[in-house]
Homo-oligomer: A and B are copies of this chain.
Amino acid sequence: MIKVTVLYPNAPNAKFDMKYYVTRHLPMVRDKCAPECRSIAAEGGLAGGEPGSQAPYIAVGHLTFDSMAAFQKAFGPNATEILADIPNYTNTQPIIQISEIAL
């Protein structure tokens, strides 16, 4: 199983509409990537590791797929439309991490 993690960097002027992200964007991605997309999840940054520090990421999203091939098959044809929705909930430029779930 692989996890596609989308990390939205924090910054003093960073904006992120979590309500839109969890009720509109992620469900849209899941529906467009069905049935390959197995799950969606999201978190909002609260803090960093040092006392009083900001979270490095204002928000993080996760999608799981059975394999890298399943992700590419599902995401590729919908990439343009999915990416075009990003300005509707944030002014940040996300970083993508594709991982193998180990535990």
Contacts from A to B (Cβ < 8 Å): 2-3, 5, 7, 18, 21-22, 26, 40-50, 55-57, 59-60, 68, 95-103
Q: List 14 A-B contacts (CB under 8 A).
A: A5-B60, A7-B56, A22-B103, A42-B103, A43-B101, A45-B97, A46-B98, A46-B99, A46-B100, A48-B98, A49-B96, A55-B98, A59-B102, A60-B97
Copies of this chain, tallied across the complex: 2
Q: Tell me the complex Cα distance, A34–B57, Å.
A: 27
Contact, CB under 8 Å: A68 / B42: no
B residues less than 8 Å from A2 (CB atoms) = 46
Given A41-B103, A43-B102, output 5 extra A-B contacts at Cβ < 8 Å: A5-B60, A40-B103, A43-B99, A45-B98, A60-B97
